[in-house]
Structure 1
Amino acid sequence: MSKPAARIRLADAAFALFDERGYEQTTIDDIAGRAGVGRTTFFRHYRSKEDVIFPDHDRLLSLIRDRLETSSHSTALVAVSDAVRLVLLRYLEEGDLARRRYVLTSKVATLRDREIASVARYQRLFREFISDWMGDPTESASLRAELMAASVVSAHNHVLRRWLRGEAADPVGEVDAAMREVLRLFPPPGSGPEGGGTTVLAFRTEQDIDSLLPALRRVLEEGGGQ
């Protein structure tokens, strides 16, 4: 059997040492030594011991940006859902490594802060894309884009945390369902009553439907069918 690649050996060594000694007490020399490589090899793959823990966010952000940029105005929301799925799949591919990271970041404040900063980068990317898609420079539209981006990220993180805790048997199905919920909260501009169509109100009355229909028709005619 071939020897695992140095990058994988370094990651395995780092997490093993973090478990044994704690994150703060583990040095880069410790990690390199456990992996059987030198410092030069370590820095060829990672910039710091923090980088061993976290996925390649720059690469992942680039993949998300590429997916968003290939969409048209009519497929923008589909692209957002696809991009969220891309992020989740990246964590699923990591498997146990992602779960070990989750445990570690919950214990180490500096790692938790870095994770929060990374989440903010994803949210900013979604917010900028949604804002451009809306094409509305008003403050209310800017707020709507911010809220929608925050909801997109929150939906992903909710499902991801469930999977990391072993609570989600079908995380991909769950994230798709979560995104449908988000998109229901934020219908495309012009798709509501202002954009045309018929609004139906439901209410209860003792009258039967046959006696109500003529009155309803008169209301619709007087209101221009709105």
Structure 2
Amino acid sequence: MPAKPPPVSAPHEHENSAAAIRRLAEQGYEATTAGDLADAVGMSRSTFFRRFGSKDDVIFADHDHALAQLGAFLDSTELAPADALAEGTADVLRLLVRDPEAARLRFELMRETPALRDRELVITHRYERVFARYIRRVQQPETPDWVASALAASLVAVHNATLRDWLRDRVSDAPRAVVRDLRRLLALYDRWLSAEGAHQRVLVAVYDAAASPDAVLSAVASQIEAEAR
């Protein structure tokens, strides 16, 4: 198994973003200028604009890094599809919660600022596109067209639900929790993600309603044995 690609974001870039988020939380989104943020991260205004672009870009910088990291991981991994999707999603969550204070401040800023909620929807669609591109590449032949889009949206939904639970102190280990729930989700799509799942067969049993449970189980077991021969 090849090593995962190194994180895309450098530590000092995250520190700059976190410092800017703290300044925004202190002064308020509307009241904070780009100059204020440049001062907070120790840059000139022109350097700040070259590095981040805008106030919104600072807030979502970790998401940009997470998207780049996710895309690089899915492009290079040799893990089985379900394992790759679970691990890639957990890596995104690890990056977003690595600084708990900044993560919580970001959440509050987005909750209180309509323009940031709109930008969050755009970010959500970008994650979905990255997942869907990978799923279409690895899915089994004759997989329905809707599978990639539906699974991609579900992966993002489970990730976001786990992140909200972590922010509200409902879970302490967010990456572990998201992998647990993603395993349950991905099991529903196994027939389209793995050759083994695609060849699973379903046995339908018809039995006398008056039969005892032992008789029903014995009949089912006999049929399974006959199918296996």
TM over 0.5: yes
Q: TM-score range by the shorter chain?
A: 0.7 to 0.9
Deviations 1:123-166 (A, max 9, x none): 1111111122125467xx11111111111111111101111122
Question: Aligned partners of 1:105, 1:154: CA distance in 2, in Å?
Answer: 17
For 2:91, the equivalent position in structure 1 comes to 86
- Conserved 8 A contact 2:128-2:153: yes
Find the counterpart in structure 1 of residue 102 from structure 2. 97
Between Structure 1 and Structure 2, how many residues are aligned? 215
Separation in structure 2 between the aligned mates of residue 84 and residue 77 of structure 1, nearest angstrom: 11
SS at match of 1:130: helix
Question: Could you say which structure has the larger radius of gyration?
Answer: 1
Secondary structure, counterpart of 1:106 in structure 2:
helix
1:112 corresponds to which of 117, 121, 131: 117
Distance in 1, matches of 2:185 and 2:58, equals 33
Question: Which of 145, 150, 153 is the aligned partner of 1:150?
Answer: 153
Question: What does residue 48 of structure 1 align with?
Answer: 54
* 1:37-94 CA distance string (max 9 Å, x none): 421332343211112212343432232122222344x711111111001100001212
| Partner of residue 174, structure 2 | 171
Where do 5+ consecutive residues of structure 2 fail to align? 1-11
TM-score normalised by the chain length of structure 2: 0.78
Alpha-carbon distance, 1:116 to partner = 1.1
**1:146-201 CA distances to partner (integer Å, 9 max, x unpaired)?**
11111111111110111112221221221111111111221233656x72546264
In 2, Cα distance between equivalents of 1:126 and 1:149: 5
Equivalent of residue 69 in structure 2, options 63, 66, 75? 63
User: Retained in 1: the 8 A contact 2:70–2:88?
Assistant: yes
2:199 matches 1:195 = yes
Which of 26, 29, 35 is the equivalent residue of 1:29?
35
In structure 2, distance between residues paired with 1:70 and 1:117: 25
Matches within 5 A, 1:196-211: 196-197=200-201, 199=203, 201=205, 205-208=209-212
Q: With structure 1 as the length reference, what TM-score do the two structures score?
A: 0.78
Percent identity, aligned pairs only, is 31
Seen in structure 2, the aligned counterparts of structure 1 residues 204 and 170 have a Cα distance that, compared at 3 Å, is farther
1:131 aligns with 2:136: yes
Are the structure 2 counterparts of residues 198 and 146 from structure 1 closer, same or farther at C-alpha, using a change threshold of 3 Å? closer
Shift of 1:25: 2.0
Structure 2 CA distance for aligned equivalents of residues 92 and 120 of structure 1: 20
Deviates more, 1:75-84 or 1:204-213: 204-213
In structure 2, the CA distance between the partners of 1:217 and 1:88, relative to structure 1 (3 Å rule), is closer
- Deviation, structure 1 residue 8: 3.2
Q: Give 1:117's aligned amino acid.
A: V
Q: What CA RMSD, in Å, does the superposition of the two structures yield over aligned residues?
A: 3.3
> Which sections of structure 1, spanning at least 5 residues, go unmatched?
none
* d(CA) in 1 for partners of 2:73, 2:64: 14
Q: Which residue of 2 aligns with 1:8?
A: 15
Relative contact order, CA 8 A, sep 6+: which one is greater? 2
